[in-house]
Structure 1
Amino acid sequence: MVQYNFKKITVVPTGKDFVDIILSRTQRQTPTVVHKGYAISRIRQFYMRKVKYTQQNFHEKLSTIIDEFPRLDDIHPFYGDLLHVLYNKDHYKLALGQINTARNLIGKVSKDYVKLLKYGDSLYRCKSLKVAALGRMCTVIKRIGPSLAYLEQIRQHMARLPSIDPNTRTILICGYPNVGKSSFINKITRADVDVQPYAFTTKSLFVGHTDYKYLRYQVIDTPGILDRPFEDRNIIEMCSITALAHLRAAVLFFLDLSGSCGYSIAQQAALFHSIKSLFMNKPLVIVCNKTDLQPLETLPEEDMKLVMEMKSEAMKTVVGEGGEPTDDAGVLLTMSTLTEEGVIAVKNAACERLLNQRVELKMKSKKINDCLNRFHVAIPKPRDQKERPVCIPQAVLEAKAKKAEEAAEKEKRKLERDLENENGGAGVYSASLKKHYILANDEWKEDIMPEILDGHNVYDFIDPDILQRLEELEREEGLRQEQEADDDFEMDDTELTPEQQELLAQIRKKKSLLIQQHRMKKATGGRRPTVPRLFDKDRQFTSGRMGRELSRVGIDPSLAINRARDKSRGRKRERSSERGDDNAMDVDGGQLRKKLRRSIDTSRSSRSRSRSRNPNEVVPGEGLKDSAQKAKARKLDKKSSNKRNKDAKRGEADRTIPNLKPKHLFSGKRSTGKTQRR
């Protein structure tokens, strides 16, 4: 079973293609026609839909990228470390983090601009907001263009990675470069790994599959490893180290006895001792290859001593039941991939040792107890020569016979096909779908159930819990009526004194008046104008009434009444005096009148009325040289706002007819070279 299939990751488009795809989809999937004559709510909805749809498409695409790329912390450690070796997990996580940040930014931009679009007051403003929103989203995507390109390169490389299942039966081949690893995997599997007579022909992991005892085994060919410090190893060697560290597999360590690989047996033994910590608790087989060039028996004594040391170390890597090393059978094997001598023996030995170890681990686990508890095989020992045949209880025989009868009856039962053949065949016989209904009375099965009755859908009135709900409603209604009965407490007038009754009547009268006034104010929506005293027919706002009200409270009203009279007379006196002064000063011109007015203003008390400034008077800092220029500017400003004010006051009830026949569509055919107007 392939656990991780990186070939299914969706293609990551470039930043420019990303923008083109989303904007094209928005244009195709949303309405494209809007007129300035539409209601403003409809125009807002049109542009809000554009912004929301674009954001949803961006969010969907970016979420697909984030979800489909594997999380290094969630996948198997083998794949996590392999991806880190190949791509550097810091850069990988940064790229995915930028995609996630872009997704959040686009969501925030959409939210902000939809909020602004809700208050758009014209088609032009709504369109401008839509353009700004889409532009900011596209800018965010353009900024993450390098991350998208980086992820696309990673996707292409990951699609070429072999499909390795870290949990299945695995045989791992390792050793120095050019010792015959790829030739061996080509012999025992259908893999076609390139074989050349120089080092590092294999630059990545290759996978093949072989069978042993009707079980499928996964064989992994790793690149060659050199004996040097861990920090100095390159990416090709780190692929092999990662596989050795994380895969539970049988390890085949290849030795080239002939030295034709370019490395001596001492160097290969040094590599073995430097990485032997990676072989712990794994079945290890040391394979002496190229015996056609250099048999094991003819090795020099020094080299033979090194090989035997490696064999003893290999026996220590896997211990048996009591903590003792396992037997040395199958630890050191010889073969030649050229003559194929010993190739199958090496494969069988590795598979057998791996199988034994996996069975042993399962026997030690707790799962074996659950399996053993499910079955028990009893083999009684014979006591004498008497035969004791199998005895089946009578109840079992009867149950078996009953089942046989039911099966026979089931076979005899007529099928719908048989009934159809008996009743005229297809097109004549119609199968009844109601005969298997489970009803209280079988006669009800063929009743016709109306779907529409008195203009109502019957199904809307069918509720299996209607009685229960009715009881709950009645219970709630009873509780509510009891509470209302408790709350409705009326004061009895007979228990009050005459003064209290009179006071109660005044309170009720005042309350009813307040309620009436509130209802009148509510009916007009609070838009009643302030009534001038000239039209105060009911004399509700007089100083006499105010004095009576203040006296009743216990406040001296004389000061308030005098102040109100002074305010009401002040402007009249001023006008009359000014009018008389103006008549007297007409002969002398406006200068004397201004002087007199200024002297009156200085002598007048602080409660006199302030004069308004002439709208055409130039204020310092406005940037206008004189009042004539300011008057002209105010006139132009008012004229320019006329159309805007008119459009702003226009509503749906004004019966405006938008221009639904644009000239370029309804002005007849165009001759050659007449398209400039468009």
Structure 2
Amino acid sequence: MVLYNFKKITVVPSGKDFVDIILSRTQRQTPTVVHKGYAINRIRQFYMRKVKYTQSNFHEKISTILEDFPRLDDIHPFYGELLNHLYDKDHYKLALGQLNTARNLIEKISKDYVRLLKYGDSLYRCKQLKKAALGRMCTVMKRVSPSLAYLEQVRQHMSRLPSIDPNTRTILICGYPNVGKSSFINKITRADVDVQPYAFTTKSLFVGHTDYKYLRWQVIDTPGILDHPLEECNTIEMLSITALAYLRAAVLFVVDLSGSCGYSLAQQASLFHSIRPLFANKPLIIACNKTDLQPIETLPESDALLLQEMKREAAKAGAGLVDGAPPDEEGCLLTMSTMTEEGVIAVKNAACEKLLQQRVEVKMKSKKINDCLNRIHVAVPRQRDQKERPPCIPQAVLDAKVAEAKVLEKRKLEKDLENENGGAGVYSANLHKHYLLLDPDWKEDIMPEIMDGHNIADFIDADILQRLDELEREEEEAAATAQAADEDEDMSDQELTAEETEALLAIRRKKKQILEEHRLKKSTADNKPVMPRKHDHNRQFNTGRMGQHLSSLGLDPGAAVERIRSKSRLGRKRERSAGGGDDYAMDIDQQPTKKMRARSRSLSRPHTEALPGEGYKDSAQKMKAMKIAKKAVKQRNKDARKGEADRVHYNLKPKHLFSGKRGTGKTDRR
């Protein structure tokens, strides 16, 4: 079996980029100067070299792509089936086959035109043959552009696949969606799988690693599976089924006892029985999760019977590991809670222990153990006589061990001191008692704290606590005095008249309205549709709205409205009467004609005027901001950028089209 590192697959360029890369390399790596005065054999060799070099570059680059992509028949069946579900095996093979065909066609084109170039009788004819050869090669590559684009998408997705070793010790977690599979893998490994309170949060395989008995274990989190026929499973569910079918692992079937996942225990038991063939010859554990919401002891009798039936089936699946072994139901049904972490480690240890036992049994039954036994020799000493020789320890050594044990019993350990003085978190160990000083009494001396060359003890006030108490009492007295003054000044609602009460309620309603408008504006962050001004009555600038606003403030709007109307009357143009009589002033209530509206544009508000809610202090600030914004987009518009995030750099001059033989005077740059 060949193991592939999908992250090292060569990047597949598009058809146009492929042609530019190859032709630019040909232009750089082959001679570019030829004269018609050269011998015809030299001219033929010049153009034959270009055709052969281009063909070899195409062959090398296409061969690298074909070799880097894995062959589905050579890799592990798990990866082969996984790639089949993700990318469709037929499309994948078809794209690689088209690339292989393109490589063969380019080689055939090169041979044909090299044969023709051997009979070229002039520079012009040889040049045209070279041009035709390179053009046909590029046409072949452009025709396989869809395959190249498909393979690049496959390469990008394959590079993001998790690194799963099909042969190592593996724990596979499966079950219905939202039963706690991702939470379990997050608890026992360093993986960080997204956990959300809805189904199908996990849409692909996730891998974590944990340790048990000094061995590294691989833990795989699979997407949720629904209980329906295999033909109706989507791509996400097929990832889980593929892992169950092709990986030799300990299977952990997670069950939600509380039903908060959206599926009852009967539905989960039905799924267990429908995918039971996938558990054959694999250690299987049923992990009952969310026991903090629904303890297993309080389950209804029907649900308890379902669990017992699942437990028997799990024992039978494990019994298939050893031929003729009776089903062992111990350890097949465990409870845990990923919320409180109760029983999580026990479930992990049980799964690891079952898989370890199964792997040892398989190795003992294999033929490899016989090869190992042939190379192992256990030496057993031959008994010399029937005399017993018990172990003999000198008495001095025994006395020394007894004395050492008595000393250890008398000496108090740091743990004993901790338990006597309040326990962990309360007891603080004395770090000075082991200091080696001339005078042992110096160990408890207080060390001076020095900052900026001064001893902090010189600046400590001995009466600091007393002074702090006095300051706090003064502050409390001042606060009490201020509160009493405020209570005297405030009037209770009962002392107000009916008009004052109504005014107070109006003020409070207005305050509440302003607060709600501000909160609404703040929560939406201006991310809301804007109503046109002609339909938005709150933004219309007319005398009616101004009068309502002034009336709400308790002011008389009559004088202000008359002043505005008088200015509007003076600004209008007088018209002749229909009978040719004297001029008359148009009545205020008369609707202006379309012609008058067009001519009265000078009286309208300019676009630079600051509107309420735009965030500008005045019109001058708005003008300045508009000027800065216009200056900021000047360079972007000059570069023909679509916006601030436009980072496209167009290759306007491919090297193979704009380099080569240079004219007179182009080389003197010194």
- The offset of 1:152, in angstroms, is 0.2
- The offset of 1:373, in angstroms, is 1.2
- Distance in structure 1 (CA, Å) of the matches to 2:166 and 2:667: 73
Q: What is the match of residue 329 of structure 1?
A: 330
Q: What is the match of residue 77 of structure 1?
A: 77
Once the two structures are superposed, residues 98-150 of structure 1 have per-residue CA deviations (whole angstroms, 9 ceiling, x without a partner) of 00000000000000000000000000000000000000000000000000000
Q: What is the match of residue 114 of structure 1?
A: 114
- Distance in structure 2 (CA, Å) of the matches to 1:322 and 1:32: 76
- Distance in structure 1 (CA, Å) of the matches to 2:265 and 2:256: 7
Q: What is the match of residue 65 of structure 2?
A: 65
- The offset of 1:374, in angstroms, is 1.2
Q: How does 1:511-590 map to 2 (within 5 A)?
A: none
Residue type matched to 1:57 in 2? N
Contact 2:78 2:246 in 1 (8 A): yes
- Distance in structure 2 (CA, Å) of the matches to 1:83 and 1:668: 55
TM-score normalised over the length of structure 2: 0.58
Q: What is the match of residue 617 of structure 1?
A: none
Q: What is the match of residue 36 of structure 2?
A: 36
- The offset of 1:376, in angstroms, is 2.2
Q: How does 1:592-607 map to 2 (within 5 A)?
A: none
1:312 paired with 2:312, answer: yes
Q: What is the match of residue 206 of structure 1?
A: 206
Q: What secondary structure, in the 3-state scheme, does the structure 1 residue paired with 2:251 have?
A: strand
Contact 1:73 1:80 in 2 (8 A): yes
- Distance in structure 2 (CA, Å) of the matches to 1:664 and 1:220: 66
- The offset of 1:255, in angstroms, is 0.2
Contact 1:2 1:165 in 2 (8 A): no
Q: What secondary structure, in the 3-state scheme, does the structure 2 residue paired with 1:207 have?
A: strand
Q: What is the match of residue 165 of structure 1?
A: 165
1:9 paired with 2:40, answer: no
Contact 1:4 1:164 in 2 (8 A): no
Residue type matched to 2:386 in 1? D
Residue type matched to 1:385 in 2? K
Once the two structures are superposed, residues 48-107 of structure 1 have per-residue CA deviations (whole angstroms, 9 ceiling, x without a partner) of 000000000000111111111011111100000000000000000100000000000000
| Aligned equivalent of 1:385, options 362, 387, 391 | 387
- The offset of 1:321, in angstroms, is 4.0
- The offset of 1:309, in angstroms, is 0.5
Q: What secondary structure, in the 3-state scheme, does the structure 1 residue paired with 2:375 have?
A: coil
Residue type matched to 2:360 in 1? V
Q: What secondary structure, in the 3-state scheme, does the structure 2 residue paired with 1:59 have?
A: helix
Q: What is the match of residue 539 of structure 2?
A: none
- Distance in structure 2 (CA, Å) of the matches to 1:88 and 1:664: 54
Q: What secondary structure, in the 3-state scheme, does the structure 2 residue paired with 1:318 have?
A: helix
- The offset of 1:668, in angstroms, is 13
Q: What secondary structure, in the 3-state scheme, does the structure 1 residue paired with 2:186 have?
A: helix
- Distance in structure 1 (CA, Å) of the matches to 2:73 and 2:388: 68
- The offset of 1:665, in angstroms, is 1.5
Q: What is the match of residue 104 of structure 1?
A: 104
Q: How does 1:453-472 map to 2 (within 5 A)?
A: none
Contact 2:178 2:224 in 1 (8 A): yes
- Which segments of 5 or more consecutive residues in structure 1 lack a partner in the other structure? 390-661, 670-678
- The offset of 1:297, in angstroms, is 1.1
Q: What secondary structure, in the 3-state scheme, does the structure 2 residue paired with 1:665 have?
A: coil
1:245 paired with 2:245, answer: yes
Q: What secondary structure, in the 3-state scheme, does the structure 1 residue paired with 2:240 have?
A: helix
Q: What secondary structure, in the 3-state scheme, does the structure 2 residue paired with 1:373 have?
A: helix
- The offset of 1:385, in angstroms, is 2.1
Once the two structures are superposed, residues 504-548 of structure 1 have per-residue CA deviations (whole angstroms, 9 ceiling, x without a partner) of xxxxxxxxxxxxxxxxxxxxxxxxxxxxxxxxxxxxxxxxxxxxx
Contact 2:203 2:236 in 1 (8 A): yes
Residue type matched to 1:128 in 2? Q
1:364 paired with 2:365, answer: yes
Contact 2:266 2:306 in 1 (8 A): yes
Q: What is the match of residue 340 of structure 1?
A: 341
Residue type matched to 1:185 in 2? I
Contact 2:256 2:288 in 1 (8 A): yes
- Distance in structure 2 (CA, Å) of the matches to 1:269 and 1:62: 51
- The offset of 1:380, in angstroms, is 4.4
1:22 paired with 2:31, answer: no
C-alpha change, 1:127 and 1:388, in structure 2 (3 Å) is farther
RMSD: 2.1
Where in structure 1 do 4 or more consecutive aligned residues deviate above 6 Å? Answer: 386-389, 666-669
- Distance in structure 1 (CA, Å) of the matches to 2:362 and 2:667: 88
- Distance in structure 2 (CA, Å) of the matches to 1:287 and 1:96: 44
Q: What is the match of residue 556 of structure 1?
A: none
Q: What is the match of residue 434 of structure 1?
A: none
Q: What is the match of residue 175 of structure 2?
A: 175
Once the two structures are superposed, residues 141-199 of structure 1 have per-residue CA deviations (whole angstroms, 9 ceiling, x without a partner) of 00000000000000000000000000110000000000000000000000000000000
Q: What is the match of residue 89 of structure 2?
A: 89
Contact 2:177 2:225 in 1 (8 A): yes
- Distance in structure 1 (CA, Å) of the matches to 2:49 and 2:212: 62
- Distance in structure 2 (CA, Å) of the matches to 1:298 and 1:343: 20
Contact 2:2 2:74 in 1 (8 A): no
Residue type matched to 1:21 in 2? I
1:300 paired with 2:275, answer: no
- The offset of 1:44, in angstroms, is 0.3
C-alpha change, 1:42 and 1:2, in structure 2 (3 Å) is closer
Contact 1:207 1:221 in 2 (8 A): yes
Once the two structures are superposed, residues 452-492 of structure 1 have per-residue CA deviations (whole angstroms, 9 ceiling, x without a partner) of xxxxxxxxxxxxxxxxxxxxxxxxxxxxxxxxxxxxxxxxx
- Distance in structure 1 (CA, Å) of the matches to 2:247 and 2:50: 51
C-alpha change, 1:318 and 1:177, in structure 2 (3 Å) is same
Q: What is the match of residue 665 of structure 1?
A: 664
- The offset of 1:345, in angstroms, is 0.3
- The offset of 1:322, in angstroms, is 4.6
Q: What is the match of residue 637 of structure 1?
A: none
- Distance in structure 1 (CA, Å) of the matches to 2:247 and 2:288: 23
Residue type matched to 1:134 in 2? L
C-alpha change, 1:174 and 1:321, in structure 2 (3 Å) is closer
Contact 2:2 2:75 in 1 (8 A): no
Residue type matched to 2:64 in 1? T
Tell me which structure has the larger Cα radius of gyration. 1
- The offset of 1:318, in angstroms, is 2.1
- The offset of 1:327, in angstroms, is 1.8
Q: How does 1:387-402 map to 2 (within 5 A)?
A: none
State the percentage of identical aligned residues: 80
- Distance in structure 2 (CA, Å) of the matches to 1:34 and 1:65: 35
Residue type matched to 2:65 in 1? I
Once the two structures are superposed, residues 566-603 of structure 1 have per-residue CA deviations (whole angstroms, 9 ceiling, x without a partner) of xxxxxxxxxxxxxxxxxxxxxxxxxxxxxxxxxxxxxx
- The offset of 1:378, in angstroms, is 3.5
Q: What is the match of residue 572 of structure 1?
A: none
- The offset of 1:3, in angstroms, is 3.9
1:262 paired with 2:273, answer: no
- The offset of 1:663, in angstroms, is 12
Contact 1:4 1:163 in 2 (8 A): no
Contact 1:335 1:341 in 2 (8 A): yes
- Distance in structure 2 (CA, Å) of the matches to 1:53 and 1:243: 46
Q: What is the match of residue 373 of structure 1?
A: 374
Residue type matched to 1:331 in 2? C
- Distance in structure 1 (CA, Å) of the matches to 2:76 and 2:663: 65
Residue type matched to 1:347 in 2? K
Once the two structures are superposed, residues 302-344 of structure 1 have per-residue CA deviations (whole angstroms, 9 ceiling, x without a partner) of 0111111100001111226451234222110000000000000
- Distance in structure 1 (CA, Å) of the matches to 2:17 and 2:326: 62
Q: What secondary structure, in the 3-state scheme, does the structure 2 residue paired with 1:288 have?
A: strand
Q: What secondary structure, in the 3-state scheme, does the structure 2 residue paired with 1:254 have?
A: strand
